[in-house]
């Protein structure tokens, strides 16, 4: 008779200091990592319980996968995917890295919720090319109120000048002496628009993947902005 030994590594910290820790109601062996104190099993009944599932789902959310694509590929239920999306977005804080920026570009992107393309949800956001960073954003209609809400978030920063296109709402809100208007000044943010439309399935043009709830919509964008700024989640 030969004895086979299987070494179990912790899926969270890869430690080998793993001990048995009882049996689950499903009959599966439970393990405990002595280093990070997390518990885990060898196999799981539900795909969403696997330790690596959440990281994979979040990664797919910021790499242009729709909710149902993620459900199909990972086996995690779409309601769980949406719950993780909202939980993660609530835990993230997108805040500017610097107190001073020479130049900030501001632009608007149309999006929609519930397939009502007539009722667009406009996204205004500020981008700093010198640090390749999205500083702040606001949701609403394409009016000066939405621009004003964005500007209020930027007031605490020392900004040399604002670059925008010639949309009248910008002229009404941004300080005249520090406002530069013209397509030539907003080349960088136009590139970011393209990146946002490519990375987020909800922002793809001619897509059947759209948000049914505004909260999901806004949180999906928050994840994208955080991922853009930090290159990780």
Q: Who contacts 3 (Cβ-Cβ below 8 Å, separation ≥6)?
A: none
Cβ atoms of 214 and 221 within 8 Å: the answer is no
Q: Please tell me whether residue 33 binds Zn ion under the rule CB under 5 A.
A: yes
The tokens of 12 are what?
Answer: 């969270």
Please identify which residue in 36, 73, 119, 195 interacts with Zn ion, judged by CB under 5 A: 36
Cβ atoms of 23 and 39 within 8 Å: the answer is no
Query: In angstroms, rounded to a whole number, what is the distance separating the alpha carbons of residues 222 and 85?
Result: 10
Provide the H-helix boundaries in the chain.
Answer: 53-61, 67-74, 78-91, 144-154, 168-173, 187-199, 214-230
Pairing of strands 133-140, 120-128: antiparallel
Helix (H, G, I), strand (E, B), or coil: what is residue 21? strand
- Residue 34 CB, nearest approach to Zn ion (Å): 8
Of residues 33 and 106, the one with the C-beta less far from Zn ion: 33
- Residues touching Zn ion: how many (CB under 5 A)? 7
The residue range among 7-15, 67-75, 131-139, 141-149 that interacts with Zn ion, by the rule CB under 5 A, is 7-15
Helix (H, G, I), strand (E, B), or coil: what is residue 130? coil
Of residues 31 and 124, the one with the C-beta less far from Zn ion: 31
- Residue 38 CB, nearest approach to Zn ion (Å): 5
Please identify which residue in 8, 9, 12, 181 interacts with Zn ion, judged by CB under 5 A: 12
The residue range among 9-17, 76-84, 167-175, 194-202 that interacts with Zn ion, by the rule CB under 5 A, is 9-17
Q: Please tell me whether residue 189 binds Zn ion under the rule CB under 5 A.
A: no
Of residues 36 and 73, the one with the C-beta less far from Zn ion: 36
- Residue 44 CB, nearest approach to Zn ion (Å): 17
The residues that touch Zn ion, with contacts defined as CB under 5 A, are 10, 12-13, 15, 33, 35-36
């Amino acid at each position: 008779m030969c004895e086979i030994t299987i070494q179990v590594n912790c899926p969270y910290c890869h430690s080998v200091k793993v001990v048995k820790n009882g049996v689950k109601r499903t009959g599966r062996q439970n393990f405990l990592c002595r280093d990070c104190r997390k518990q885990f099993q060898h196999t799981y009944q539900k795909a969403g319980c696997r330790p690596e599932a959440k990281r994979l789902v979040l990664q797919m959310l910021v790499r242009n996968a729709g909710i149902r694509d993620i459900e199909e590929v990972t086996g995690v239920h779409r309601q769980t995917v949406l719950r993780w999306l909202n939980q993660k977005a609530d835990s993230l804080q997108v805040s500017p890295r610097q107190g001073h920026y020479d130049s900030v570009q501001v632009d608007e992107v149309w999006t929609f919720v519930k397939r009502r393309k007539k009722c667009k949800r406009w996204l205004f956001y500020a981008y700093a090319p010198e640090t390749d960073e999205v500083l702040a954003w606001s949701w609403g209609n394409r009016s000066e109120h939405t621009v004003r809400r964005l500007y209020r978030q930027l007031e605490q920063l020392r900004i040399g000048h604002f670059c925008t296109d010639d949309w009248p709402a910008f002229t009404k809100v941004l300080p005249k002496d520090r406002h530069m208007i013209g397509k030539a000044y907003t080349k960088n943010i136009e590139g970011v628009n393209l990146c946002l439309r490519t990375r987020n399935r909800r922002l793809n043009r001619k897509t059947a993947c759209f948000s049914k709830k505004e909260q999901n919509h806004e949180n999906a964008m928050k994840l994208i902005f955080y991922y853009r700024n930090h290159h990780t989640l």
